[in-house]
Amino acid sequence: MSARVYNVLFLCTGNSARSILAEAILTKLGGGRFRAFSAGSQPKGEVHPYALQLLERLHVDTGFARSKSWEEFAGEGAPEMDFIFTVCDNAAGESCPVWPGHPMTAHWGVPDPAAAEGTEAERHFAFAEAWRMLSARISIFLSLPIATIDRLALKARLDAIGRTDDRADGDAA
């Protein structure tokens, strides 16, 4: 008997950086227990080049990376999501489609690396920081006993992950 595979959707407005990174992280760390997706409310239509460069430097296949609308996951025939996480503040405040299956939702806001200013090195660092923050949160998520915890307790823990203290030393509070 095989273990259940959970579908997870990461949402952001443009679906060009944070949600793409989160999709890559969960795919990498999820051990086949999760299917990761990403989308945006107003997709840019392309993945940010710094996000693609970071993924390539980390030896992550970028073949999955495509900026797409969240409508792709709200319609008939779309995979039913178990979890939906917003990773930007704008998407968290928008009216979302009605998701089939009533997935668990939480907000895990991360600063937008695509909006970073400064030198090229500082801008690349912003993407690395977004990766680090998302990796920490997704690692905590992966450690949850999802199959055995009740919905109310799980929701509280998902919300708490979004409030994780993302200190530079990598410790999660």
Q: Which residue of the set 11, 26, 88, 110 is catalytic?
A: 88
Q: How far apart, in Å, are the Cα atoms of 43 and each of 19, 72, 112, 156?
A: 11, 11, 14, 29
Q: Choose among 41, 14, 21, 35: nearest CA to 115.
A: 14
Helix (H, G, I), strand (E, B) or coil at 125: helix
Q: What is the pLDDT of residues 54-74, one digit of tens each?
A: 999 999 999 999 999 999 988
Please say whether the beta carbons of 85 and 107 come within 8 A: yes
Q: What is the pLDDT of residues 141-156, one digit of tens each?
A: 999 999 888 888 999 9
114 noted as active-site residue: no
88 noted as active-site residue: yes
pLDDT higher than 70, residue 2? no
How far apart are the C-alpha atoms of 11 and 143, rounded to whole Å? 21
Residue 146 in tokens: 């999802």
How far apart are the C-alpha atoms of 170 and 132, rounded to whole Å? 8
How many domains are there within the chain?
Answer: 1
pLDDT of residue 99: 72
Q: What is the mean pLDDT of residues 11-18?
A: 94
Residue, of 100 and 5, whose pLDDT is higher: 5
Q: Which domain holds residue 84?
A: 6-162
pLDDT higher than 80, residue 170? no
Q: Is residue 167 part of a domain?
A: no
How far apart are the C-alpha atoms of 41 and 12, rounded to whole Å? 7
Please say whether the beta carbons of 58 and 127 come within 8 A: no
Q: Is residue 172 part of a domain?
A: no
Q: Is residue 169 part of a domain?
A: no
E strand or H helix at 53: helix 49-57
How far apart are the C-alpha atoms of 10 and 20, rounded to whole Å? 8
CATH number at residue 84: 3.40.50.2300
pLDDT higher than 50, residue 37? yes
pLDDT higher than 80, residue 169? no
54 noted as active-site residue: no
Q: Is residue 117 part of a domain?
A: yes
The H helix count followed by the E strand count for the chain is 5, 4
Q: Choose among 2, 54, 8: nearest CA to 27.
A: 8
Q: Which residue of the set 8, 9, 11, 12 is catalytic?
A: 12
Q: Which residue of the set 29, 96, 140, 154 is catalytic?
A: 96
pLDDT of residue 43: 92
Q: What is the mean pLDDT of residues 115-130?
A: 96
pLDDT of residue 100: 74
